[in-house]
Amino acid sequence: MDYHDALAAVGAGAAHPGAMASTALWAERVQPDASWRVLDVGCGTGRTLVYLRERFGCEIVGVDIRPAMIRKARRRAELAQVKGTWRVAPAHRLPFSDASFDLVITESVNVFLDPHLELPAALHEVHRVLNPGGFYVSVKSRPPCIPSTAPPNSCMTNNPAGEPAGQFRILCFFRPPADSLW
């Protein structure tokens, strides 16, 4: 049984770096609203999406490669009396139309993708399904030996969970409207 199968078996609620404290941090900064359609790629048990629906009223859609995680996400949403859409799909082949989400999230997902094949395809898919002007939030772990400086288009680097410095980063990017590129 690999790491993700083990998480699915035990139903880990927020296994990403910083857990729900990091989710709350970026969500308060991004401030999605009820008109937003939100996609969580690698949604796991759906905890982030249920939180976003309860806190901000967003329309929520979750995908995960593991059917057990999707079953647990559906159950979590049912127990919270939250409406959501849940699909089994890989990050590098999202089953959605172009420009169909205002916010796309990957929390501790990209680090598990093959950096030469799956990751570039997954990032292409994120860009494809993201509305112009939409946001992409990636919470990722990183080795402590990498400096904590963030790229210019990062909206935050923080460690709200009190983890040792250098254990995770929150990066937030947006897709500029098409007319702003010219």
Q: pLDDT tens digits for 132-147?
A: 888 888 886 543 333 3
- Return the exposure string of 3-40: e unless at least 16 CB atoms fall within 10 Å of the residue's CB, then b: ebeebbeebbbbbbbbbbebbebbbeebebeeebbbbb
The amino acid present at 74, given as its one-letter code, is R
- Check whether 174 has a pLDDT greater than 60: no
Distance separating alpha carbons of residues 22 and 136, to the nearest angstrom: 15
Cβ count near 109 (within 10 Å): 22
The pLDDT score that the predictor gives to residue 164 is 34
Confidence of residue 180 (pLDDT cuts 50, 70, 90): very low
Segment holding 60, helix H or strand E: strand 59-64
Interval 155-174 mean pLDDT: 42
Regarding the domain delimited by 18-57+64-87+101-176, which CATH topology (the fold level of the hierarchy) does it fall under?
Rossmann fold (3.40.50)
List residues bridging with 62 in a β-sheet: 40, 86
Interval 51-64 mean pLDDT: 98
Distances (CA, A) of 66 to 37, 43, 94, 155, 168: 22, 10, 14, 30, 24
120 with 87: CB under 8 angstroms? no
Confidence of residue 172 (pLDDT cuts 50, 70, 90): low
Look up residue 43 and give its two tokens. Answer: 């949604």
Q: 48 CB contacts (<8 Å, ≥6 apart)?
A: 14, 20, 23, 40, 105, 107
The pLDDT score that the predictor gives to residue 163 is 35
Interval 88-99 mean pLDDT: 97
Interval 171-175 mean pLDDT: 56
The pLDDT score that the predictor gives to residue 88 is 98
The pLDDT score that the predictor gives to residue 147 is 39
- Check whether 8 has a pLDDT greater than 80: no
- Check whether 177 has a pLDDT greater than 90: no
How far the first Cα of the chain sits from its last, in Å, is 50
